[in-house]
Structure 1
Amino acid sequence: MTELREPAAGPTGGGPGATAPVIPPTAAPDAPDTTSWGGRHAHDPTVARDDDGVYWCFSTDARYDGPVRAGVQVRRSTDLVTWELTGWALPGVPPAAAAWASAEGLWAPEVVRSPDGGWRMYYSASSFGSRRSAIGLATAPHPAGPWTDAGLVVSSRHHEPPEGTGHPNAIDAAVVDDDDAQWLVYGSFFGGIHALPLDPVTGLVAERAAASAAPGALTDHPGVLLARRSPAVDNGAVEGAFVLPRPGGGWALLVSYDSLASSYHVRAAVADAVTGPYRDRTGRLMTDTDAAPWSVGVPVLSGHRHDGGPGVLAPGHGSVLTEDLPDGGRRQTFVHHVRDADAPARHRLQVRRLVWTHDGWPLVSPQPWAGAARETDDEDAWPSDPAVLDGRWESWEPGADPTHVRTTTTGVLEPRDEVRSHGRGRFGWRAPDGAEVSAVVHPGWDAVRGRATLVLTALDATGRVVLATRVDEGA
């Protein structure tokens, strides 16, 4: 999260060595009444699952209807659908972060397991429009806390380099495990997205841990560049990066483009290594700053409005929750925020299933996650008969015009030649224009009509994506 405009409360203490219990919503004098919040006010979310199967969501200090309480919002859920705000991870902005960045709140937390079985939270500290920023680290024995601040990991200075180059803005952390190595993927707007090696034992930047240098110091080596946009386009808006392994090998990068309050949307690219180079479906590099503003990256999610449903504005800043299921399967969900198209200041948490095409591209469901009771995780039960592609579908294209909320259209899918079933919901075919299409069809839940149905996500060789919900009774 780079430039959130909501007001924020000032720093309230905490810091290295301090024990920070999870604070019930009514425990602090500046704590608002959160009993009705649920998933509202969640921005830049990440979700972790504890050993008991409980989900914990951590998000930016943001609120659209009143003053903000600083310290990272914490929510709890047992189904990824219904959420309860349980408090804040920290009592405020830790002193080192406040002193360096003049931050009045904490942004875009990333929560991961540490080698000792505990938990690490990488939080961001900055202010609107500035790259004088820092990523800090806090630790806890459990996602519920208590969280103890451990100081800064990496920081950046505000400067105006030519053509958007220079040190990246030190916010928006994402941690990536690659065999015995670990990486900090970070950056936003200014300077693009970079990856720095971490020391898995300490959780600090590896070069500083090895050299016993002061953690959090400025570095002349910001890491490997993964993605960058031309500064002529909304100040080079690319942020909220998340890197995850692809089935069968390699890596996928998910990033958010454009203004977080209006045209925010999510794009994807893939690479053979964590450090890239990342390319989209047509082979264009995610570092290509000369390309047309919205031509680089596969658009997987953007603002939209289903027939009869609420308008979803500016979806983005996502993370991926990967769960190993009791039956030996795996579930992946894309956790992100959205805004209300009819009231753009209002933001909330949303979760969608993430799926992979047969040739290894990440796509997301057109419908929000409805809970395990309404969803089907057993991919062996997903359709394999191409006949499921027939019928009437309500569809939209996230890349057709990401600067506006897309309205859906209802009808049959485009004509298909040589449809091939790859099993487990995966299909491929040739479109009328000759482009090869990779698609995933799986059971889902129509949130507007309130019924079980089939949903489809499809990507063609030109980078065009279609998201669709089957709306006839044949589903």
Structure 2
Amino acid sequence: DDGKWWMHYGSFFGGLYCVELNPATGLPVNAGDQGHLVARRADYSVHNLEAPEIIYHEPSRQYFLFGSYDPLMTTYNVRVGRSDKPEGPFIDFFGKEMSDTTNNFPILTAPYRFDSHDGWVGTAHCGVFTDGEGNYFMAHQGRLASESALMDLHVRRILFTPDGWPVVSPQRYAGVPQRSFSAADLEGEWEIVRIVEPRAERRLEAGQILWGEGALLDGEWNIAEPYTLANAGVIAENKGSWQFDEKNQLLSMTLNGEKINNLIIFAGHDWERRLDTVLFTGLDDQGRSVWGKRTK
């Protein structure tokens, strides 16, 4: 609105910075200015951060700064913060500034595996864009877990939770037409993935895992688990309960004693089973993504 230009940049080792640019030259307004710190982590020998991507979300009038954590061929994952100014400061899910040394949340993507597939690792370094019609998308790398040198392009829908945080689809975009669902549409068998931060400590060299350590370790996978949403709001085998807000297309669950609210229901494509289905995405109370797809 004020005509100022800003560039966000940074790498694994120095954190992420923002500098004001001269619109006429594309150079810093003040020669030699490296800008100000907007995001960092505590220990860059083991905890890395790179790949800033920033978008303006018109409905919320917020700027969202996306960054990528950890080694790019294994536990690479996307985090995000928001601000009402393009230069920050950017605030995370818990109200922490991304420029402090806290590991920030929400976490949007991380290595995951649904049934009938080897799974994907390295799911970060994102570009974020809109189609001009109010739909937002994230593009990022994805590497086959069985052959992590093979890198594919993943494109996912971005949706926004009722409290304004971006979340991404558990499945890649396939142009499936959207429609409204009823509670009866949700009854059936599901696979649910909890997207959490890596729990294993890695030895790193130049910000990457050591040669020959390309496979994920215990505590680094986010693996789908089966659940059955039965009628009368019951999750089978005494695993919990569920409620559906049909007007707002939001699912809430009590899952193994944990309450998870406002999961966004939408139509998508099941790439593992090669058919269209019902999906959900959202966040738990810890700012960790929760993904689901109906399988039967």
Paired position in structure 1 for 2:38: 226
Paired position in structure 1 for 2:144: 340
Residue 278 (structure 2) pairs with residue 454 (structure 1): yes
TM-score, normalised to structure 2's length?
0.80
Paired position in structure 1 for 2:96: 284
Paired position in structure 2 for 1:311: 119
Residue 85 (structure 2) pairs with residue 273 (structure 1): yes
State the alpha-carbon separation in 1 of the partners of residues 281 and 10 from structure 2: 29
State the alpha-carbon separation in 2 of the partners of residues 399 and 409 from structure 1: 14
State the alpha-carbon separation in 2 of the partners of residues 273 and 439 from structure 1: 28
Residue 4 (structure 2) pairs with residue 207 (structure 1): no
The CA deviation at 1:382 is 4.0
Paired position in structure 2 for 1:396: 193
Partner SS state of residue 188, structure 2: coil
Q: Superposed, which structure 2 residues align to 1:144-159 within 5 Å? A: none
Letter in 1 for 2:164: G
The answer to whether the 8 A contact 1:332-1:355 is kept is: yes
Paired position in structure 2 for 1:250: 62
Letter in 1 for 2:77: H
Pick closer, same or farther for the CA change 1:316–1:462 going to 2, 3 Å. Answer: same
Pick closer, same or farther for the CA change 1:416–1:196 going to 2, 3 Å. Answer: farther
The answer to whether the 8 A contact 1:263-1:402 is kept is: no
State the alpha-carbon separation in 1 of the partners of residues 267 and 199 from structure 2: 26
State the alpha-carbon separation in 1 of the partners of residues 113 and 246 from structure 2: 30
User: Of residues 360, 365, 372 in structure 1, which corresponds to 2:164?
Assistant: 360
Whose Rg is larger? 1
The CA deviation at 1:440 is 1.4
Partner SS state of residue 412, structure 1: strand
Letter in 2 for 1:243: I
Pick closer, same or farther for the CA change 1:336–1:441 going to 2, 3 Å. Answer: same
Paired position in structure 1 for 2:73: 261
State the alpha-carbon separation in 2 of the partners of residues 450 and 333 from structure 1: 21
The CA deviation at 1:190 is 2.0
Letter in 2 for 1:409: E
Paired position in structure 2 for 1:440: 264
State the alpha-carbon separation in 1 of the partners of residues 193 and 75 from structure 2: 16
Paired position in structure 2 for 1:170: none
Residue by residue, what CA displacement relative to the aligned partner does 1:217-247 show, whole Å, maximum 9, x if unpaired?
Answer: xx2x32232110012552x411111111233
State the alpha-carbon separation in 2 of the partners of residues 465 and 297 from structure 1: 10
Pick closer, same or farther for the CA change 1:357–1:233 going to 2, 3 Å. Answer: farther
Higher relative contact order (CA 8 A, sep 6+): 2
State the alpha-carbon separation in 2 of the partners of residues 382 and 187 from structure 1: 41
* Structure 1 gaps, min length 5: 1-177, 209-218
Q: Superposed, which structure 2 residues align to 1:376-387 within 5 Å? A: 376=177, 381-383=179-181, 385-386=182-183
Residue 263 (structure 2) pairs with residue 466 (structure 1): no
The CA deviation at 1:455 is 1.0
Partner SS state of residue 74, structure 2: coil
The answer to whether the 8 A contact 2:124-2:141 is kept is: yes
The alignment yields a C-alpha RMSD, in angstroms, of 2.6
The answer to whether the 8 A contact 1:303-1:406 is kept is: yes
The CA deviation at 1:361 is 0.7
State the alpha-carbon separation in 2 of the partners of residues 395 and 467 from structure 1: 6
The CA deviation at 1:349 is 1.5
Q: Superposed, which structure 2 residues align to 1:19-168 within 5 Å? A: none
Residue by residue, what CA displacement relative to the aligned partner does 1:99-120 show, whole Å, maximum 9, x if unpaired?
Answer: xxxxxxxxxxxxxxxxxxxxxx
* Structure 2 gaps, min length 5: 201-219, 230-238
The CA deviation at 1:416 is 5.1
Paired position in structure 1 for 2:223: 407
State the alpha-carbon separation in 2 of the partners of residues 441 and 470 from structure 1: 11
Residue by residue, what CA displacement relative to the aligned partner does 1:430-469 show, whole Å, maximum 9, x if unpaired?
Answer: 7476756232111100001111101110212321321111
Residue 108 (structure 2) pairs with residue 300 (structure 1): yes
Letter in 2 for 1:279: I
State the alpha-carbon separation in 2 of the partners of residues 228 and 337 from structure 1: 22
State the alpha-carbon separation in 2 of the partners of residues 180 and 258 from structure 1: 35
Letter in 2 for 1:309: H
The CA deviation at 1:338 is 1.3
State the alpha-carbon separation in 2 of the partners of residues 276 and 358 from structure 1: 22
State the alpha-carbon separation in 2 of the partners of residues 186 and 257 from structure 1: 15
State the alpha-carbon separation in 2 of the partners of residues 270 and 422 from structure 1: 28
For these two proteins, the number of residue pairs brought into alignment is 266
TM-score, normalised to structure 1's length?
0.51
The CA deviation at 1:260 is 1.0
Residue by residue, what CA displacement relative to the aligned partner does 1:394-416 show, whole Å, maximum 9, x if unpaired?
Answer: 12112154662322111136745
Pick closer, same or farther for the CA change 1:422–1:261 going to 2, 3 Å. Answer: same
Residue by residue, what CA displacement relative to the aligned partner does 1:162-199 show, whole Å, maximum 9, x if unpaired?
Answer: xxxxxxxxxxxxxxxx6633211110122211111223
Pick closer, same or farther for the CA change 1:399–1:238 going to 2, 3 Å. Answer: same
